[in-house]
């Protein structure tokens, strides 16, 4: 199936790492895998997970105010704890094993759809709690991952492989993923944990075909190997954008799940920079929050989402319905381009002084305005020789038209964007 068109125009998604790890505020799954805490202590968090104040309608309204068009919730992380009442009794579930005692996915899916957002679920291929999981080894492990992967929770001792146990595990994983597809019909499935096995070991084709038989329009991230639809870099805008559709997943602070000691929150201004740099390079931003165990999102993180949403609302013309903007070197900052390729949107992080320059533009300019205020700006072209166009100089906006976080200028062209990319006379 071709990539679903909604994804490229979504621009912003919200990632939610929610699970029992929020009880003690320890790193999700990894804390017991690496020995930061014992597995016994980690699993004692099951008894403290209540979801007592979980209101998915509140989440959905917050995400909509942030300007998001989709969200992705951790249906099951590497710890194996499912957030729904899975029929698989060989796995852990908040319904059976925690005081929450109920499915947490159905209300989430309904709430998102009521706000017009697409529904996504995170699911880890790996399960460091399932007895059948550590039964085979990667045939050609990445040397960087080898030390991490040589863990009795994820791999057997050399020579102790058990293919029958691995087949049982795949049956468990496939059944859970098909449950998610059939019960909640997600628009997107965000897989993880793929590094521990090869594509053939995971049975990726079988899994993908089973999901697509339920909903042929389901979008997969690249952690479905050759069946993935888009790339998913983490925690830093790539200096060279991946080929095809992509998404940057980024935490608001330094943690995926809730960790009460982590108050290193990114500012709204920093999030605006990440966002504009990402969409300017043709990607989406998947911005992560970590709710407390009771299901509430902290005021600090909610304020960041709303602050970003306020900026997006003021500059929506430069966000939605756009594609990647100018290559590096034409403008000092990110940019986007309208879908008809006739309007450039230039982002200026600092208050412009005197002029804003645009280089290599062959088009004539019809008009330049400040997005959000509509103020029209003067402009002129100087220089240029033969094939090399002159520099477009745009008058700096007045102080009242400068945005607190990033000012955007709309440059309306006389036709589709035409750029000069040559070396000039040599």
Q: SS3 for 329-395, per residue?
A: CCCCCCEEEECCCCEEEEEECCCCCCEEEECCECCCEEEEEECCCCCECCEEEECCECCECCEEEEE
Please answer whether residues 372 and 315 qualify as being in contact, where contact means their C-beta atoms are separated by less than 8 angstroms. Answer: yes
Q: What is the pLDDT of residue 425?
A: 74
Range 99-102 contact pairs with CB under 8 angstroms and sequence separation of 24 or more: 99/47, 99/48, 99/49, 99/50, 100/49, 100/50, 100/51, 100/52, 100/54, 102/51
Per-residue confidence (pLDDT) for residue 306, from 0 to 100? 98
* Residue bearing tokens 């057997």: 156
State residue 148's pLDDT score: 59
Q: Specify the pLDDT at position 419.
A: 96
Pick from 252, 266, 142, 261: which is nearest to 195 by CA?
A: 142
Give pLDDT, residue 147: 60
Whole-prediction pTM: 0.96
pLDDT at residue 338, rounded to an integer: 98
End-to-end CA distance of the chain: 47
* Residues in the chain where the model's pLDDT stays below 50: none
pLDDT in tens, 238-266: 888 989 999 999 999 999 999 999 999 99
Q: What are the residues whose beta carbons fall under 8 Å from the beta carbon of 321, sequence distance 6 or more?
A: 9, 338, 339
């Amino acid at each position: 199936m071709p990539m679903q068109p909604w994804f490229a125009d979504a621009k912003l998604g919200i990632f939610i790492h929610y699970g029992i790890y929020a009880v003690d505020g320890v790193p999700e799954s990894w804390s017991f895998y690496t020995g930061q805490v014992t597995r016994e202590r980690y699993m004692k968090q099951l008894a403290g997970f209540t979801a007592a104040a979980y209101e998915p309608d509140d989440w959905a309204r917050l995400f909509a105010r942030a300007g998001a068009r989709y969200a992705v919730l951790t249906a099951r992380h590497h710890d194996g704890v499912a957030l729904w009442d899975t029929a698989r009794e060989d796995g852990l579930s908040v319904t059976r094993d925690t005081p929450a005692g109920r499915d947490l996915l159905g209300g989430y899916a309904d709430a998102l759809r009521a706000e017009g957002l697409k529904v996504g679920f995170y699911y880890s291929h790996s399960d460091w709690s399932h007895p059948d999981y550590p039964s085979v080894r990667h045939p050609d492990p990445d040397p960087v991952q080898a030390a991490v992967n040589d863990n009795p929770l994820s791999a057997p001792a050399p020579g102790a492989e058990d293919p029958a146990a691995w087949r049982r595990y795949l049956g468990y994983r496939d059944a859970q993923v098909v449950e998610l597809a059939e019960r909640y019909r997600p628009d997107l499935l965000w897989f993880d944990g793929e590094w521990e096995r090869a594509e053939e070991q995971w049975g990726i084709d079988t899994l993908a075909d089973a999901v697509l038989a339920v909903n042929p329009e389901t979008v997969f991230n690249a952690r479905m190997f050759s069946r993935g639809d888009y790339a998913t870099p983490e925690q830093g805008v790539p200096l060279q954008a991946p080929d095809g559709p992509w998404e940057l997943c980024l935490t608001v602070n330094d943690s995926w799940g809730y960790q009460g000691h982590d108050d290193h929150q990114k500012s709204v201004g920093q999030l605006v920079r990440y966002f504009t740099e990402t969409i300017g390079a043709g990607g989406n931003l998947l911005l992560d929050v970590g709710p407390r165990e009771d299901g509430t999102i902290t005021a600090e993180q909610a304020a960041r989402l709303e602050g970003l949403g306020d900026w997006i609302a003021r500059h929506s013309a430069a966000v939605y319905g756009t594609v990647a903007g100018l290559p590096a070197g034409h403008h000092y900052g990110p940019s986007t381009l309208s879908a008809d390729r006739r309007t450039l949107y230039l982002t200026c992080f600092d208050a412009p002084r005197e002029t804003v320059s645009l280089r290599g533009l062959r088009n004539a300019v019809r008009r330049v305005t400040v997005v959000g205020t509509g103020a029209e700006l003067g402009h002129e072209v100087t220089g240029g020789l033969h094939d090399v166009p002159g520099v477009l100089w745009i008058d700096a906006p007045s102080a009242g038209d400068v945005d607190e976080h990033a000012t955007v200028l709309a440059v309306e062209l006389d036709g589709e964007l035409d750029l000069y990319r040559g070396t000039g006379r040599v």
